[in-house]
């Protein structure tokens, strides 16, 4: 079992942007996407501040978000990266397996990666993730660089208020449709 120890606000910037985006999408009846909490069991508490200071994960989480967009099942994970190279080890095998199974059931799976040093985000199609994952598993490079990514999927952060990932999901669907023809 993995353990969790307080690590500040790790990942909170991206999650906050996604959560605000999801609220807007819900208000506009475009999508219903929910954050999936990771179940933890507290081990140590700071009673004075009423905070958990040490806990263990009850089970492996799958992805951060799941829901539906106009009748299409959607799941995605949010990742942050300080540099311009993203380590594959930040994506867990059980997440890739879940996303692959989700896609087989007719859903759309993807990653949203926030490059904090660059101040930009990226919508990574599952197909692209799978290519980098396979390369890594076959003894190749254990990371990918921003230069390797499809420039069409870099997300303009609109005044740092939300991440318009549905625009990029539409592009993802267009690409899938053109490959099916």
Phi, psi for 117 (deg, rounded to 5) = -65, -30
The annotation status of 167 as a binding-site residue, yes or no, is no
Residue 98 has which token pair? 């879940």
The annotation status of 77 as a binding-site residue, yes or no, is yes
Helix, strand or coil for residue 1? Answer: coil
CB 103 within 8 A of CB 109: yes
The annotation status of 59 as a binding-site residue, yes or no, is no
H or E element that contains 92: none
Phi, psi for 26 (deg, rounded to 5) = -65, -45
The annotation status of 64 as a binding-site residue, yes or no, is yes
Rounded to the nearest 10°, the torsion over CA 128, 131, 136, 138 is 170
Instruction: Report the binding-site residues.
Output: 62, 64, 77, 95
Instruction: Report the binding-site residues for Mg(2+).
Output: 62, 64, 77, 95
């Amino acid at each position: 079992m993995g353990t969790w120890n307080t690590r500040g606000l790790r990942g909170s910037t991206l999650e906050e942007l996604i959560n605000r985006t999801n609220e807007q999408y819900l208000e506009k009846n475009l999508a219903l996407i929910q954050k999936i909490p990771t179940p933890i069991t507290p081990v140590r508490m700071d009673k004075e501040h009423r905070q958990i200071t040490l806990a263990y994960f009850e089970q492996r989480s799958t992805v951060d978000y799941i829901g539906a967009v106009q009748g299409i099942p959607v799941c995605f994970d949010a990742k942050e990266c300080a540099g311009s190279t993203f380590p594959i080890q930040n994506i867990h095998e059980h997440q890739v397996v879940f996303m692959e199974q989700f896609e087989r059931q007719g859903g759309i799976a993807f990653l949203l990666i926030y490059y904090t040093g660059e101040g930009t985000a990226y919508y990574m199609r599952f197909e692209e993730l799978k290519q980098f994952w396979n390369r890594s598993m076959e003894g190749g490079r254990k990371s990918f660089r921003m230069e390797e990514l499809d420039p069409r999927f870099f997300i303009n952060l609109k005044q740092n208020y939300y991440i318009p990932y549905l625009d990029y999901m539409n592009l993802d669907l267009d690409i899938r449709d053109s490959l099916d023809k």
